[in-house]
Amino acid sequence: MKRYRLLLIFAVMLVVLSMQGCASPTPVPPPAPTQPPAQPATQAPAQPATEAPKPTTPPTVAPTTAAAAPDSGKPTIAYIVKLGDQPWFVAEAKGLKDKAAELGYNAEIIDVQSDANKALNAFDTVIAQKVAGIVTCVPDQKIGPAVISKMKAANIPLVVEHDVIKDDAGKTPPGFVGFDSYSLGADAGTAAADLYEKNGWANNSKAVVKIASIDDKKTSVCMDRTRGAVEKFLSREKNFTQKDVISVPYDNTLNGALTSMSTTVTANPSVTNWILFSCNDDGVLGGWRGLEGASVKADNVIGVGLGGAFACEEFKRGEPSGYKATIYVDAYTSAQTAVQVLDNFLKKAMPMPDHTYVKSILMNSDNYKSILTDCK
């Protein structure tokens, strides 16, 4: 019996030892199958870090240049300009900014790049911002009624530069700053007639002379300027008639005038001498570049611009040019005048004048240095 009990105890001990050999001393749960292994710190993310997020609503209007954050304590004057990278309007933007700062305003410059829809959107934007006033040169005079209606509804003063706009009734509101377009053109016609006589073209029986009127027909003030130039020239030079005038289509860019004039000179091979008029320097200088490309000599071209935007660049070259003169208007001063008109209305309750004309002067290669003192 004793022996039997010893064998039973020994058997139980063997079973216990066998079970302990099959178990782990400290159970470890397996890793969750859904968790991926950690990536090394140097591994590139799946989405490149340099890729910019795509905006959901792209801006419709961008300022010409990046500006510092506006002083929230100052009122803002917005300048909605039709072609902000054109030299004339670059100078205007600087004049407006400087004068605005002097008088205690922020300035917001909005370049709509000749797009009427962008211009209307820009008006909506700055009106919503509750700006103190707006200065504009519109890309298309046809939007005049819509612009004036928006400004009246918002009760925000508006100064219009250079390109006159009208309301639904065909009336021009007060607050125009610029020049008398017809008279400015007439000054160009007088200058061209003086050069025509001085250069002896009238006595050259072999010369076939034509007048190229480089016209932006969608802009009334452009047409007023070229009409003034042509009519003044014809009134001086009685041997010319309207039949001697060729209308050259123009999109208000230098390259556009160059292209159109190149086509015009090809279509008129018998013409030896050209007189060039347009509503600004871009048209006249572009017309001369087109003639120059067709091997027309500078001595056979009399071009008189308006504005003087390219005078420094062209005159300082010291090379023969068909761009003989320009009726200079200081764009910087013109914009400053516009800001002063707004300031007088806002701070002094002075009524907007119907129009404020800026001065002009004949400028050529002989006197440009004395006028454009910063032209180096």
In a domain, 56, yes or no: no
pLDDT at 41: 36
In a domain, 256, yes or no: yes
111 vs 138: CA distance, rounded Å: 10
How many Cα neighbours within 13 Å face the side chain of 65? 10
Residue (of 147, 149, 129) closest to 139 by Cα position: 147
Which is more confidently placed, 156 or 17?
Answer: 156
In a domain, 375, yes or no: no
Tokens of 289: 């570049």
Taking only the tens place, the pLDDT of each residue in 258-286 is 999 999 999 999 999 999 999 999 999 99
pLDDT at 29: 38
Q: In the chain, what's the furthest Cα-to-Cα distance?
A: 158
Residue 208's CB: how many other CB atoms inside 10 A?
13
Q: Three-class SS of residue 172?
A: coil
Mean pLDDT of all residues in 11-31: 38
What are the residues whose beta carbons fall under 8 Å from the beta carbon of 200, sequence distance 6 or more?
A: none
Burial class (CB within 10 angstroms; exposed 0-12, middle 13-18, buried 19+) of 319: exposed
pLDDT at 376: 86
Quick one: 135 and 192 in the same domain?
no
95, 164, 217 from 109: Cα distances, Å: 11, 20, 27
* Residues of the chain above pLDDT 70, percent: 81
In a domain, 370, yes or no: no
DSSP per residue over 244-294, as a string? Answer: GEEEEE--SSHHHHHHHHHHHHHH-TT--EEEEEESSHHHHHHHHHHHHHT
45 vs 42: CA distance, rounded Å: 9
Quick one: 279 and 311 in the same domain?
yes
Quick one: 208 and 307 in the same domain?
yes
Mean pLDDT of all residues in 48-75: 43
Quick one: 309 and 227 in the same domain?
yes
Mean pLDDT of all residues in 102-115: 97
Mean pLDDT of all residues in 25-48: 36
Quick one: 254 and 345 in the same domain?
no
In a domain, 96, yes or no: yes
Quick one: 341 and 321 in the same domain?
no
Quick one: 191 and 106 in the same domain?
no
Mean pLDDT of all residues in 187-191: 98
Q: Quick check: 324 and 277 in contact, CB under 8 A? A: no
Cα dihedral sign for 257, 263, 264, 265? positive
Containing domain of residue 310, as a range?
181-328
In a domain, 219, yes or no: yes
Buried b (16+ CB within 10 A) or exposed e, 160-184: bbbbbbebeeeeebbbbbbbbbbeb
In a domain, 305, yes or no: yes
Quick one: 316 and 270 in the same domain?
yes
Quick one: 143 and 264 in the same domain?
no
* Residues of the chain above pLDDT 90, percent: 79
342 vs 319: CA distance, rounded Å: 43
Quick one: 316 and 225 in the same domain?
yes
With 80 as the cut, is the pLDDT of residue 175 above it? yes
pLDDT tier for residue 71 given thresholds of 50, 70 and 90 = low
Mean pLDDT of all residues in 59-72: 42
For residue 217, what is the domain's CATH number?
3.40.50.2300
Taking only the tens place, the pLDDT of each residue in 311-341 is 999 999 999 999 999 999 999 999 999 999 9
Taking only the tens place, the pLDDT of each residue in 110-160 is 999 999 999 999 999 999 999 999 999 999 999 999 999 999 999 999 999
Quick one: 142 and 193 in the same domain?
no
Q: Quick check: 315 and 365 in contact, CB under 8 A? A: yes
In a domain, 143, yes or no: yes
pLDDT at 182: 96
With 60 as the cut, is the pLDDT of residue 57 above it? no
- Number of domains composing the chain: 2
Quick one: 92 and 186 in the same domain?
no
With 90 as the cut, is the pLDDT of residue 21 above it? no
What global pTM score does this model have? 0.76
pLDDT tier for residue 70 given thresholds of 50, 70 and 90 = low
